[in-house]
Amino acid sequence: MSAKIISGTETAKAIREELKVQVAELTEKHKLIPGLVTILVGEDPASQSYVSAKNKTAHALGIHSEQVTLPAETSEEELLALVDKYNKADNIHGILVQLPLPKHINEAKVLYTIDPNKDVDGFHPVNVGKMMLGEQCFLPCTPHGCLELLQRAGVETSGAEVVVVGRSNIVGKPVANLMLQKRAGGNSTVTLCHTRTKDMSMHTKRADILVVAAGVANMITADMVKEGVVVIDVGVNRIGMSESGKAILAGDVDFNSVKEKASAITPVPGGVGPMTITMLMKNTVQAAKQLAGLA
Ligand code: L34
**pLDDT greater than 80 at residue 1:** no
- Angle at alpha carbon of residue 74, lines to 69 and 79, rounded to 5°: 75
What percent of the chain has a predicted confidence (pLDDT) above 70? Answer: 100
Give the model confidence (pLDDT) of 150-165 as tens digits: 999 999 999 999 999 9
Q: What is the pLDDT of residue 224?
A: 98
How far, in Å, is the centroid of ligand 1 from the Cα of 204? Answer: 25
Has 121 been annotated as catalytic?
yes
Catalytic choice (98, 118, 208, 282): 98
Q: What is the pLDDT of residue 87?
A: 98
Q: How many residues does the chain have?
A: 295
- DSSP symbol at 73: T
Q: Helix 272-291 crosses helix 8-30 at what angle (to 10 degrees)? A: 20
Q: What is the pLDDT of residue 236?
A: 97
Q: How far apart are CA 50 and CA 129, in angstroms?
A: 27
Cβ(146) – ligand 1 distance below 6 Å: no
Task: Provide the residue type at 107 as one letter.
Answer: E
Give the number of other Cβ atoms within 10 Å of residue 243's Cβ.
Answer: 5
* Confidence label for 279 from pLDDT (cuts 50, 70 and 90): very high
61: nearest Cα among 26, 31, 93: 26
Catalytic choice (22, 118, 119, 121): 121
Which contacts qualify for 172-180: CB closer than 8 Å, 24 or more apart?
A: 172/213, 174/122, 174/128, 174/131, 174/139, 174/140, 174/143, 175/142, 175/143, 175/146, 175/147, 175/211, 175/213, 175/234, 177/131, 177/132, 178/131, 178/139, 178/143, 178/144, 178/147, 179/147, 179/209, 179/211
- Report the CATH superfamily, name and number, of domain 141-273: NAD(P)-binding Rossmann-like Domain (3.40.50.720)
Locate all alpha helices (DSSP H) within the chain, ordered by sequence: 8-30, 45-61, 76-88, 107-113, 125-133, 141-152, 172-180, 200-204, 255-258, 272-291
Q: Are the C-beta atoms of 62 and 251 separated by less than 8 Å?
A: no
Mean pLDDT of 239-261: 96
Cβ(132) – ligand 1 distance below 6 Å: no
**pLDDT greater than 80 at residue 221:** yes
Cβ(252) – ligand 1 distance below 6 Å: no
- Report the CATH superfamily, name and number, of domain 31-123: Leucine Dehydrogenase, chain A, domain 1 (3.40.50.10860)
Among 37, 234, 276, which residue has the most ligand 1 atoms within 8 Å of its CB, making it the best to mutate?
A: 276
Q: What is the DSSP string of 82-135?
A: HHHHHHH-TT--EEEE-SSPPTTS-HHHHHHHS-GGG-TT--SHHHHHHHHHT-
Q: Domain coordinates of the chain in residue numbers?
A: 31-123, 141-273
Mean pLDDT of 178-200: 98
Q: What is the pLDDT of residue 211?
A: 99
Q: Are the C-beta atoms of 261 and 229 separated by less than 8 Å?
A: yes
Residue nearest to atom 1 of ligand 1 (CA): 98
* Matching fold, domains 31-123 and 141-273: yes
Q: What is the pLDDT of residue 295?
A: 87
Catalytic choice (54, 173, 259, 282): 54
14: nearest Cα among 209, 284, 285, 282: 282
Mean pLDDT of 48-62: 98
Among 6, 236, 246, which residue has the most ligand 1 atoms within 8 Å of its CB, making it the best to mutate?
A: 236
Beta bridge partner(s), residue 233: 212
Has 98 been annotated as catalytic?
yes
Give the model confidence (pLDDT) of 72-113 as tens digits: 999 999 999 999 999 999 999 999 999 999 999 999 999 999
Task: Provide the residue type at 252 as one letter.
Answer: D
What percent of the chain has a predicted confidence (pLDDT) above 90? Answer: 99
